[in-house]
Amino acid sequence: MGKIIRAQRIGKGSPTYRSKSWRRVGEVKLPPFKASRGTVVDLVHEPGRGYPLMLVKFREGFSVVLPAPEGIRVGEEIECGAGAENRAGNIKPLAEIPEGTKIFNIEALPGDGGKFVRTSGSHGILIAKEAGRAMVQLPSGEIRAFDLRCRAVIGTVSGGGRTEKPFLKAGKKYHAMLGKGKPYPRVKGVAMNVVDHPFGGGRGRHAGRPKIVSRRAPPGQKVGLIAARRVGKR
């Protein structure tokens, strides 16, 4: 009789593989449209997140948590809306941002709080505005069209160069992954026993079966390349 494989244990959502939600500072999203001007109250670190966060208190009486841009400091004021200056940290609609400006935390839909370009040290570039859409070059190089009413933060996300520092010790890596709620160390399926993983067992470390699996496969089989569109080198 076999036992529950690792993929099933992770998908179950047990405390072992659950992210440390009680350590979270708060939901990271742009303020409501009614926001006008706010002050950076504090710069904080959140475990599991690769960039610093800034706590901004607005004149309207509410506070929000946002990714901190490079060069921001405590006590600095942040403006929101079409009339805001083109200064790092200010929040403006894409329709009012000049072409060639570096932006981050871009909304996918007007008012959703920001979905794109939120990793440390990253920024997008507003390339052009045509046919009622704003064309933004994302850090991956992809050019994506956004609604002109979508908002974004001007500048670059702080924390750049984070990935250039090596971990040096397995313990450091372990605690970094623990903060994100990700299992570490990760053992290859082909290195496991046959009762632990569909790719386990056999002579030599090979899967012994196709690695592409259907999207509708049961949890005990859903490992490998799930619903892969293509295989091989590009």
Whether 22 has a pLDDT exceeding 90, the answer reads no
Percent of the chain with pLDDT over 70: 99
pLDDT of 153 reads 96
Phi, psi angle pair for 130, to nearest 5°:
-150, 145
Residue 222 belongs to domain with CATH number: 4.10.950.10
Quick one: average pLDDT of 102-120? Answer: 95
pTM score, two decimals?
Answer: 0.81
Question: Cα separation of 33 and 41, whole Å?
Answer: 20
Residues 140 and 51 in one domain: yes
- Do both 92 and 157 map to the same domain? yes
CA pair distance 215, 234, nearest whole angstrom: 23
The answer to whether residue 13 sits within a structural domain is: no
What is the pLDDT of the chain when averaged over all its residues? 90
Confidence at residue 57, expressed as pLDDT on a 0 to 100 scale: 95
Q: Is the dihedral of CA 125, 141, 51, 161 positive or negative?
A: negative
Domains identified in the chain, total number: 2
Kindly state whether residue 132 falls inside one of the protein's structural domains: yes
Of 10-24, 172-186, 207-221, least confident by mean pLDDT is 10-24
Domain end call among 116, 133, 162: 162
Tell me the per-residue pLDDT of 112-153, one tens digit each, with 9 for 90 and over: 999 999 999 999 999 999 888 999 999 999 999 999 999 999
Q: Are residues 128 and 207 in the same domain?
A: no
Mean pLDDT over residues 83-102, rounded?
A: 93
Judgement on whether residues 119 and 70 belong to the same structural domain of the protein: yes
Enclosing domain of residue 105 = 21-162
pLDDT in tens, 184-193: 888 899 998 8
Q: Is residue 42 part of a domain?
A: yes
Same domain, 46 and 104: yes
pLDDT above 90 coverage of the chain, percent:
61
Which residue, 53, 19, 22, is CA-closest to 182? 19
Task: Please check whether residue 75 lies inside any domain of the structure.
Answer: yes
* Count of beta carbons in the 10 Å neighbourhood of residue 58: 18
pLDDT in the model for residue 219? 81
**Position 213 in a domain:** yes
Dist CA 127 CA 121 (whole Å):
19
Residue 84 has pLDDT above 60, yes or no: yes
Over the range 26-42, which residues count as b (16 or more CB within 10 Å of their CB) and which as e? eebbbbeeebeebebee
How would you classify residue 76: left for phi > 0, otherwise alpha for psi between -120 and 50, otherwise beta? beta
- pLDDT of 1 higher than 70: no
pLDDT tens for each residue of 64-74: 999 999 999 99
| Domain final residue pick, 142, 162, 182 | 162
* CATH code of the domain containing 140: 2.30.30.30
Give CA separation, 151 vs 27, 90, 128, 154, 189, in Å.
Answer: 17, 10, 15, 10, 43
20 has pLDDT over 80: no
My answer on whether 195 and 131 are in the same domain is no
Note the pLDDT of residue 204: 86
Domain boundary among 162, 189, 216: 162
